[in-house]
Structure 1
Amino acid sequence: MNDQSKQDASAKQQEATEQTAIEKRREHLKAESLHLIEMAGNEPNSALRCIHQLSVAGGATEATYVAIEQRVVADQDTAGAYHLALLAQNTPDLPIDARQLIELVVNKGDNDQRLALLKNLPLPPVDMIKEYILASNDGDAIGQMNAYLQINPEGYGSHHMLASNQADRIVPLSPGNNAN
């Protein structure tokens, strides 16, 4: 019986330690969220920095995502829109209008961003992306798009291809540029 009491006490101590760690993490995320909300609200063109810090922190409050989305829209930041749209597509309960972000990238972004959307979104707006790339008369981008759509005519994106055991990788938005 004495061993059982020691085990129970040890289990309670471990549970208390885990709960303390959870509370510390929660407080850290709240503090990070407040910092990111302030940055997004006050610093133009800060969306990519916010998204990076959000990723490093491992999450944030819903209000943080909303503030970053508002910064992206206010700045018409296609790079921020791309990254935030990918986050929203991979985490469906985020309070983000991914469709608005995707349309921003397609309508105002460059062909590299459009091709990245085509390859990385689970269900990209293939016809809209195709229309903009064809209208650009950019031979290289048209060739890349056609090559991709030839092996994936439905445009299901990398997630589908990986799930189907087809070799592909998530394509970075800015190859060769290292974000700090």
Structure 2
Amino acid sequence: MSNQSNEQQAIEKRREWLKLESARIIDIANSESNSALKCIHQLSVAGGATEGTYIAIEQRIVADQDAAGAYHLALLAQNTPDLPIDARQLIELVVNKGDNQQRLALLKNLPLPPVDTIKELILASNDGDAIGQMNAYLQINPEGYGSQHMLASGQADRIVPLSPGNNR
């Protein structure tokens, strides 16, 4: 009985700590412009958060039109389907406001990326390097099924990180 009680206490202690961390992250998201990546990092370090934390980060991303933050939160949403965020809105933000490296990363990492839209925007940019990378990727994966397809076909999953320095 004592062991079960200790486990319960540890769970409660962890739950309380996550609530405190969530409140701290929400405060950052609500008060600091362009803080989405900082908040996502702290969320990862904490190992989870409340639903309100994800919503606050999403609202910060939308308010700032932060394509890098949208990319990272969209990836989290793809890997955790019960998050209370609109991954489609985040993906659209990356596609429409992000740079070609972010679009290529979406193409490679989302299970079902908006291939035609990404292709159209990259081609319209006349960025030879990005067009070459996109064409090379679509040559081996013409449907653009992303990382889930690659896993199913036995290829290694390669999540492409985007740092703030990657923005052009």
TM-score (normalizing by structure 1): 0.89
Match for residue 34 of structure 2 among 20, 35, 45: 45
Corresponding residue of 2:119: 130
Q: Residues 29, 167 of structure 1: CA spacing in aligned structure 2 closer, same or farther, 3 A cutoff?
A: closer
Q: Which residue of 2 aligns with 1:35?
A: 24
Contact 2:39 2:57 in 1 (8 A): yes
Structure 2: state its 5+ residue gaps: none
Provide the rounded CA distance (Å) in 1 between the counterparts of 2:82 and 2:157: 26
| Corresponding residue of 1:141 | 130
Question: Aligned ranges for residues 11-22 of structure 1 at < 5 Å?
Answer: 12-22=1-11
The CA distance in 2 between the partners of 1:168 and 1:144, in whole Å, is 17
Higher relative contact order (CA 8 A, sep 6+): 2
**Aligned counterpart for 1:75 among listed residues 51, 59, 64:** 64
Q: 1:94 aligns with which of 83, 87, 104?
A: 83
Q: Which AA in structure 2 matches 1:94?
A: L
1:6-62 residue CA offsets vs partner (Å, 9 max, x unmatched): xxxxxx111111101100100000000100111100000110000000001011010
8 Å Cα contact 2:33-2:60 kept in structure 1: yes
Q: Distance in 2 between matches of 1:175 and 1:144?
A: 20
Which of the two has higher C-alpha Rg? 1
Q: TM-score, normalised by structure 2?
A: 0.95
Supply the AA of the counterpart residue of 2:114: P
SS in 1 for 2:83: coil
User: Who is 2:48 aligned against?
Assistant: 59
Structure 1 stretches of 4+ with a deviation exceeding 4 A read none
Following superposition, the deviation at residue 158 of structure 1 comes to 1.5
Q: Deviations over 1:100-153 (max 9, x none)?
A: 100000101000000000001111111111111011010110010010011011
Percentage of pairs with the same residue: 84
State the superposition RMSD in angstroms. 1.4
